[in-house]
């Protein structure tokens, strides 16, 4: 019985001794089995350098440097290849602008495949607020959200494709930006589908190809 009690007391003292020092400041470096993960020969951003003459660790990129990156970083020959979605050099495609002005028309070719993709992305990302037809009466408006505009208002029918793209990208008012959730190509597909929705609610018989006007129901 006595060895059991002695063992219990020793374990209790050891536990109290170890846990009793938790939270205390100690100037000694903790014991680390693999220290190279925490202590690496590198510079931190904005840190001071003793190697460079001006004392700065952050260096100015050489003139003419172009950003590379993304999944398609190297070409088949092993040389770096420009990733357009990473560099985003085309203002018309990536920002919907030419200079300071929004572009009037989408820079991509619109076909049935693009419209179907736009419909899918619109229904997932936009319809909860804007509604499936773009009338501003999405499901969230039934739970208190107010002020969602209808795409069929004259003001929104007259704005440029570039401005619609800009709002999807950067948000506006209560609307959050979607530049990280939706790729540029899909944003332009949504713009095309929004135009299709607007046309569907404001079309005339003259907008229907003559050979298919017989299919229109009165």
What count of other Cβ atoms lies within 10 Å of the Cβ of residue 188? 24
What is the per-residue pLDDT for 104? 96
Structural domain for 190, as ranges: 91-205
73 — pLDDT class (breaks 50, 70, 90): very low
Does the predicted model carry a pTM greater than 0.75? no
Q: Which residues contact 85 (CB under 8 A, 6 or more apart)?
A: 70, 183, 184
DSSP H or E segment with residue 45:
none
Q: Is residue 72 part of a domain?
A: no
Q: Mapping DSSP to helix (H, G, I), strand (E, B) and coil, where does residue 113 land?
A: helix
Residue 103 has pLDDT above 90, yes or no: yes
Residue 195's nearest CA partner among 91, 106, 79 is 106
What is the per-residue pLDDT for 125? 95
Segment 184-201 shows an average pLDDT of 95
d(CA 152, CA 194): 10
CB 169 within 8 A of CB 116: no
What is the per-residue pLDDT for 43? 84
Q: Is residue 85 part of a domain?
A: no
Q: Is residue 156 part of a domain?
A: yes
Q: Mapping DSSP to helix (H, G, I), strand (E, B) and coil, where does residue 114 land?
A: helix
Q: Is residue 139 part of a domain?
A: yes
What is the per-residue pLDDT for 80? 56
Write out the DSSP string of 160-187. Answer: -HHHHHHHHHH-BTTBPP-TTTS-HHHH
Q: Is residue 9 part of a domain?
A: no
Q: What is the mean pLDDT of the chain?
A: 84
Q: Is residue 196 part of a domain?
A: yes
d(CA 202, CA 66): 45
71 — pLDDT class (breaks 50, 70, 90): very low
40 — pLDDT class (breaks 50, 70, 90): confident
Q: Is residue 134 part of a domain?
A: yes
Domain total in the chain: 1
d(CA 187, CA 179): 8
- Beta-sheet pairing, 101-102 with 97-98: antiparallel
Segment 186-198 shows an average pLDDT of 96
CATH label of the domain that carries residue 190? 1.10.760.10
Q: Mapping DSSP to helix (H, G, I), strand (E, B) and coil, where does residue 208 land?
A: coil
Q: Is residue 159 part of a domain?
A: yes
What is the per-residue pLDDT for 176? 92
């Amino acid at each position: 019985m006595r060895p059991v009690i002695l063992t219990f007391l020793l374990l209790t003292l050891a536990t109290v001794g170890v846990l009793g020092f938790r939270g205390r400041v100690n100037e000694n470096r903790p014991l680390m089995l693999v220290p190279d993960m925490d202590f690496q020969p590198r510079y931190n951003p904005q840190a001071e350098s003793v190697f460079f003459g001006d004392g700065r660790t952050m260096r100015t990129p050489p003139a003419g440097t172009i950003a590379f990156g993304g999944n398609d970083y190297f070409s088949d020959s092993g040389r770096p290849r420009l990733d357009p979605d990473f560099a985003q050099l085309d203002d018309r495609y990536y920002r919907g602008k030419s200079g300071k002005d929004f572009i009037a028309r989408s820079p991509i070719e619109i076909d049935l495949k693009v419209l179907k993709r736009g419909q899918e992305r619109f229904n997932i990302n936009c319809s909860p607020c804007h509604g499936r037809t773009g009338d501003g009466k999405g499901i969230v408006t039934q739970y208190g959200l107010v002020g969602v505009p209808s795409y069929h208002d004259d003001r929104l029918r007259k704005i440029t494709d570039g401005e619609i793209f800009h709002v999807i990208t950067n948000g506006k008012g209560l609307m959050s930006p979607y530049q990280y959730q939706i790729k540029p190509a899909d944003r332009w597909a949504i713009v095309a589908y929004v135009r299709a929705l607007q046309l569907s609610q404001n079309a005339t018989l003259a907008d229907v190809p003559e050979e298919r006007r017989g299919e229109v129901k009165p």
